[in-house]
Amino acid sequence: MEYTQLGRTGLTVGRLVLGTMNFGPQTDEPDSHAIMDAALDAGINLFDTANVYGWGENKGRTEEILGSWFAQGGGRRDKVVLATKVYGNMGPDGEVWPNHDKLSALNIRRAVDASLQRLRTDHIDLYQFHHIDRATPFEEIWQAVDVLVRQGKILYVGSSNFPGYKIAQANELAARRGGTIGLVSEQCLYNLAERRAEMEIIPAARDYGLGVIAWSPLHGGLLGGVLKKQAESGRRASGRAVEALSDPALRARVQAYEDLCDKHGVEPGETALAWLLTRPGVTGPIVGPRTADQLASALRAVETELSPELLSGLDEIFPGPGPSPEAFAW
């Protein structure tokens, strides 16, 4: 495993991030534990989750699976940089109830304590805001963060799905207030087929020293060799790829992508991950394996070298929007 610093911090993390969203809904507890063991053995040390994972009536289940894995001991918790998120409604008994969601000081305090209990740990290394909260001022958010840092319940704070201007607002206020170092990471949708983050989110993150963690690096399976798998096994696409492939123009681009990968003797899924590792400002993509085999494939991406010719071909098939404001103005 290759390692890097998370943004401007001194925190060392692997270039691949283990996403746990499938743990519970798609992958049972024993298999989830086996995947986490394999990830740790391979050198992956940043594990990402969220309080709402498990979804619906099972919200919180994914954190519980991580907690039972940590409870097995063997240095598991000490070796892991643990990241979770707050924003989604976690009302009692599955209810949607006021003040059990978003980023009020009340909900942040409540959500941290609940996550710590499910995760069976005394602290969260990276506490991430899962979405912007248009109703709560950053003064209130940072005040709540300051208290939690002093209590030792969280160490660093990151954002997820923030626009560039909110990254700027949050860190400018943090700098004026003193105390907290502000946001240190941004987790955003970013992959070959979805590059709009390059306009403002990634430049803002780089300017403010945030490490970029890319979610959905295979764009819901679209970049994982979906057409080849359909042709070879008759297995139909699922998730986001179904809707995407109904667009003839996008389907043609995906076919061109798979043909290019075949020409260069590389696997599409590993290529999509390896491409993200070449992007400026990217700490690493989140890989969310449902099986051990999927984890093994993702690990190969760290060792996959993309030639200049291949990189140029990828840009031709999936051109980026260019920087802001040139992307939309003269």
Neighbours of 284 (CB within 10 A): 27
Alpha carbons 257 and 30: distance in angstroms, whole number: 36
Residue 53 is a catalytic residue: yes
Question: Alpha carbon 63 to chain centroid distance?
Answer: 15
Alpha carbons 65 and 19: distance in angstroms, whole number: 13
Alpha carbons 214 and 281: distance in angstroms, whole number: 10
Picking from 200, 199, 206, 207, the residue whose alpha carbon sits closest to that of residue 322 is 199
* Burial tier of 160 (Cβ tally within 10 Å: 0-12, 13-18, 19+): buried
Is the alpha carbon torsion for 183, 44, 320, 280 positive or negative?
positive
Q: To the nearest 10°, the Cα dihedral for 18, 24, 28, 33?
A: 40
Give the active site residue among 3, 53, 208, 257: 53
The tokens describing 214, both together, are: 């890319």
Strand pairing category for 3-5 and 12-14: antiparallel
Is the alpha carbon torsion for 161, 163, 169, 174 positive or negative?
positive
Alpha carbons 206 and 201: distance in angstroms, whole number: 9
For residues 15 and 302, is the Cβ–Cβ distance under 8 A?
yes
For residues 127 and 154, is the Cβ–Cβ distance under 8 A?
yes
Alpha carbons 124 and 7: distance in angstroms, whole number: 18
| Greatest CA separation for the chain | 58
Strand pairing category for 12-14 and 46-48: unpaired
Residue positions annotated with a catalytic role:
53
